[in-house]
Structure 1
Amino acid sequence: MYRWVLIIWALLCFPFVNAEAQNISNEGTDFWAVFPTHDPSRNNNGTVNLANVRIYITTKTSSEVTVTCGSFNSGPVNIPGNTAVWVDVPRADSYIIVGDANSIIANKGIHVQVTPGRDKVAVFEHIYAGARSAASLILPREALGREYYSMNYIQDVSNGEVNRNFLVLVAADANTTLIVHKKDGSSFKVDFANAGDVYEYAPPNQEDLTGMYVEVDKTSPDNCNKRFAAYSGSTSLKIACNGSRDPLFQQLYPTGSWGKSYGVVPFINRRHIIRILAQEDNTTVQFEGNVIPLNKGDFYTSGELTNSALVTADKRISVAQYSLTQACSSAGGTEIFGDPEMVLLNPIEFNVKSTTLFSSDKERITERYINVLIKTSATSTFKIDGTPVNTMWTPVPSNPEYSFTQIQINAASSYLTANEGFNAIAYGFGDHESYAYSAGTNLAATTYFLVTNKITQRDAQNACVGQESDFKIILPYLVAKITWKLDDGPEEPGSLDHVIIPAADGTLTYEYKFGRSETFTELRSHRITIKIELPNDGTGCLSGEAEFSYTFDVYPLPTVDFQFPNENCADTEIQFTDAGLSNIPGKPLNKWLWDFGDGTFSTEQNPKHIFSASGPFVVKLSVGLDEGCMSDVLPKTITIGPKITTGFAAGLVGCINKPHTFEDKSIVEAGATIVKWHWDFGDNTPIPTDQTLSVVQHTYTSLGKFKVTLVTESATGCVSLLYSKEITITALPIPKFILPKICSSDNIAEFKNLSVDGDGTTASLASYLWDFGDVGSVGNASNAVDGTHKYNQPGLYTVKLTVTNANGCSDFITSDFTVNGPDVEAKFDVVNKDNLCSNKKVEIINTSTVHSVGTVIKLRIYFDAVNKPGEFIEDDDPVLNESYEHTYPAMITADPKPFTIKMVAYSGESCSNTYPQVILLNPSPIISFNNIPAVCINVGKIQLTQASETLGIAGDSKYTGLGITEDGWFDPSVAGVGRHDITYTFTAHNGGCEESLTKPIVVDPIPIVTLPSDLYILEGGEKQIDVSVSSSGNTYEWSPSEGISRNNVLSPTFFATSDRVYTLTVTTATGCSTSERVFVHVIKSIEPTNAFSPNGDGVNDVWVIKYIETYVAATVDIFNRYGEKVFFSQGYSIPFDGNYQGIQLPVGTYYYIINPKNGKKTITGSLTLIR
């Protein structure tokens, strides 16, 4: 009985459908890697940095491997669980030099083998040196295929580099023949003699090899069982911009492991490019809203991208993602650490639930990241080393069903897990450095081995201890014979009965069973060997024998246990905590099925559950893991305390600013009592601190719908489910009415109702109640819409109106109301009554009153009651001492005119009084004021005559304004340049009525003339005078006109022959003029005499030099015949008198030098001194 319960539980928890080919992971026991040709980096001094290769190995438990290549043998290498261990392979043994390209190189493959009986491992390769870096995931032997397409990129040329795309082929089996199909349609064969032989196809013409493909020769012996590995890339290239370059290197996935859906996650803070490659004609690709048709071997290359996206196709495709050259790789197109790299993405359908990866920091790698794509619903289950990530998950815009995150890591080894499958890549960046590779994958396989657990009917790659197991193999073809051998047991013939399993691509696979079961009692590895004979079934594989050998483990059953709190309440969330163990190192539990005993289930690890009823419940848990076994079912009993059913009564509609009552109606099962009530009124007001009230009132201060909730609590601390009601708080009506204006003699007072509901309408108003404040009178209350009442006595009354709407909300308003007495008296005063002018407003002041009670409610004023009895103004809300103004028409005669003003005052419609008063209105002057012509500022005072009074009224007049003198004249020089207002005022002798008008006058400036006061001209010469004027548009006149070039220009040329004073008159466009003078001096030529007689007779006692006085700076030097200077003078104010230093010079001939110092030539000659 228990056995069948276990089976049912296992089917619920671990469903498995054998509908498609089984996937295999990147974990295995046999791997082949290569070290292809690359362009080395160089230091600034030209030193070449040769690359090295490092192989990283990880495992989930623990294992042991040996790495070989050429003459290199690492010996056994221990691999601890969840740790990345590396092995450096010597360059001399592994590197493919460019000279060996395009030829078979024996024993050049890097071989990684797990020691027999040890656990599977995952392998990664990192090539690094200087500013060069590239990495790849390495696939195990069972994931290798028989056909590959090359994925590369546009090859550029750099001086001194190899500059080639490459496709490297590695034989995994001896005697393997491959056919390489070139893109031009030609092909050639590659015959490998031994496993580990390598062929690097690297044409020297910078050809982009993307789209060429390689396959096992279908005509070769045993071709169906031949496998090989393929790698592609570039020796180095740049992507998107110049500046630096890096090699590309990735292991290719066989075509059977391509998919139809890929998630593209951008490199963090960087741009990327993708390339999509098809393996069949008529393939349709969907990408970012674009439909892309591709044929076999065709590819599509995107532009530079920054967003995540999904790539889908109707047939299988391969997708590569490229990082850019550092100079342009940032998301904004600028420089950021990195360089070209290529990573082959895994299809979404070949995701993994766990993987161990490495992240290298070799060769200046400073930033290391993991990109993860997973279903949005499973993001919370993703963990690294057992800890949930704290990065943000972002939905993919084109399909929010999936989300991605970008995680920065520091550890060399990381263990990634999730409850659902995910796709991930690991990558790193440094200064002109990069690498990227798949973090793990499942790959399609058409030949694989499975163990069927007969208890759970679940297929896996392992057996469970103590549980009966069956064995089966899935093949891509029918067989003629099959035998089975378990460990060292005998070879047993197997049945040829089979089950046909259609694959996703429409091809068929065939399932064969061992035919007997086995129950294992020890936890250890076992080996099963399956031999088959192949018929020629038209698949291209020849008939013959094949042998398959698989290692599987016997796993322990998980240990199941869980915890929950001791005290528990109904309707309260209870935390259940898994305490189970997988009992397999490095493989945690990832399957849970909880049965809470109330008809509900959960598959979470640590669920929270609410029991809706009290009493005992039996909770059951079974645990397991994808690649392990499932546990027994563990039952535990949980007791749930008495249930509280909460409820309360309250009106569903309430009124704003009015108390609303809530009454508790909760019930509790026997054994408990309610002691606390937790109310929340839904309006963000503080929750009551007194939680012991079962009846409460609450006042809402805003309109709307409010969710009122109540949670009750028992004495044992159990709380109920939240009970809620929606309360609608409506607006109060807005009462309003108009007070009538009446006196006690009026018939009735009518109160106009202007009330509205909160929405501004009257449709929902339900009732009205009037209280007219006339206590004891008949009809003091009324329910009418508009109120009416007869007041018999004057006095002050308080009127109240209460309005209620359809929701039952009501509000009221009161207003004081006065019934006026009948004894009203009309009266007013006239302001300035004795001096009223026809051109001024007449102002009256209201002094009307009601002598008993009340006020005047209306005034009617007739300002010309005799001549215009039908014209009046009316004030329905007069105020005592309020003023009223009126302007009478202008008078056309010089005589005063009387008018009658009449006022009627009302205290009610039936109560009024009339008061007339006669006023005398004096005529006002009528003024005519003609325009004043513009004047010049230097014209002098002028008399203004442009204004006059025209009605003939006797009075006084005057002009005022800037520039008006005491005698009434206008002085432009006082007013200044510009526009000025001149006001003419006329005041009548009779009554002092006054009128004034204002006109402008413009004062124009005179020009400002700047010229020298003196001008010097050499005799016989000419000179132009430099003159400037402050205005333009002027006319000019020089006088006299003799001795100048022109007398009507600003700056003429002078050539006068004698000294003379000239006058310049400048006149502006407005006619304003001014004059300035210049003294023109004509400088004569110096005329020295040739003799003088300083003998004291008063005649020729000094040496005369004619006209030298006009040369104020001239110098005079006189020398004797010996060349001695006997006289010097600056200017010639003291002439030469024949003495030198107070002593008479002897008679004789002397010599002079006169320098005019004005540009004229020096004058020299002889002088005779005679006594």
Structure 2
Amino acid sequence: MGKIVTFEATFIVFLLSNKKKPRELKLVVIILFLTVNLLNAQVNAVFTSDMTSGCSPFIVQFTDQSTGSPATWYWDFGNGNHSTLQNPEATYINPGHYTVSLTVTNGSYTNTVTYTNFITVFENPTADFYVVGPSSGCAPVSVTFHDNSDEGSAPITEWLWDFGDGSITYTQHPVHIFPIGGNFPVSLEITDANGCGSSIEIPGIVDVSQPPTTLFSGDDLVDCAAPHTVNFSSTSFGTTPLNYYWSFGDGQYSTLANPSHTYTVNGIYTVSLTTTDQHSCSSSLTYEDYVQVMAVVAEFDVEDNLVCYGTEVEFINNSTGATNYDWDFGDGETSWSANPGHEYEGGGTYTVTLLASQGGECPDTYSMTITVEEVNAQISVSDTYICMLPTTVQFIDESENAVSWLWDFGDTTFSYDQNPEHTYDYPIDTNINFDVTLTVYSPNGCTDILYLTDFITVVLPTPAVSVIPNGGCIPIDQVWTDVSTYFTDDDEITGQTWVFPDGTTASGSTVNYTLTEPGVDSAMLIIETAHGCLDTAVFYIFGGEVPVPVFAVSDTICASDSVQLFEVSTDQMITSWHWEHLPT
């Protein structure tokens, strides 16, 4: 039998076109509302969680999503724990799968929902490791670690090692060097593919002993001859007690902390000390060539003790038994290098002296003469300015210490003479400069080169004449004018000489001349410059005579007849004719 439900409802009456059965319609409406309210009174259990899987231990937050206005809740988490809260938390510790159920009630209805294997708890990996080989000793100690961890629900994917000395690594089976002494804990943290992890720390698994620090000194390390005694003192420190082992470099040894040792043979000796602590850790210190018992012999050499000026002299130190060197190059310059180089500022003979010693003790000197040969190229010339061709220039060598010469005159010609003459001739364009180079050689082959840029200057004047008028019937009064050009600031045209056709001459930049002979004739202008150069221009003048016309007729004719006229002049200069009939 159905359960009685009490409810309140609001009835809505619809007026339909069919008015015959309004009650039947109202009844339908009431039934609909009753059905709806009956459905709303039931409860339906529903829930969610913030996670469904994780690594142990992990806490799950459950959230009630039930409908029907439940008033009570009963949770079964599948791990033996229950809750009556609406939104409880549950902690899962042991690995496995867990079924979760929720029962809800509203006082009238009850509903239960169950989610099978809803929660999965992964099994965590277990971290573990061990050391392969020794884990203690004298620093530095190399230790090999082996990962011995067990997997959980998934493969291990990450390893983090902390060696306790500030160093870490991410390799599975690391090898680590502990550089200093100490007792070091080592830890390993692992993570698997599910994100689950585990860690382990083993305190003091690595024990490293710090070796002692070896230090020593000696009090009188240099002497010129044996026998010689040196007092040695150790300032080593470490875990006491320390043991000492000295090697004096001459085959003798000592185990004292602060021994004295006498060297009986001249020589240079290397001294070493090894100290060992109670853990058998040791360290050594060696000083090369620490003790010197021998006389100093100063000596040096050079590749050649005759050098050319400008060449650096390399000194080769062959001294023995010395630690300090004092050079005097003979020109006021000095050096304290073992094998110096030096360039002299001028030619001459220099005495080089080396003072060798052992820190100022047992001094010895050695000297050598260095000759620096210098050759200096210098010249003079008869003239460097050329204003007519050909011109011969006298070159004069004024070099110092030269025995051979090579001249380059700049026009592709050369000479090996000491004081050559060189002629500059055509073809040469006007306004051109020539570089002159002199290379000189000393008796021992040292050289010097003198470069003289634009040393020889060639500027040629260009003579030219203006004749006004030039032509006509003699006698002709002409004006001859010098219109020569000369493009230079170093010279100028200072004189003109005119040579007339009859051989007479005149001077001046302008002259007058009367041409009295017919025909073509030549004249000449000679110009002279302040530098003494001459140049000539030949020019031509011409004039003609007044022609004398002569003609003849072919025969005696009658009036009104035609006649043939013939020009029979002997003047060959006539070029045109004009006939005119004169009235009688």
The answer to whether the superposition gives a TM-score over 0.5 is no
Larger radius of gyration: 2
Query: If the length of structure 2 is used for normalisation, what is the TM-score?
Result: 0.43
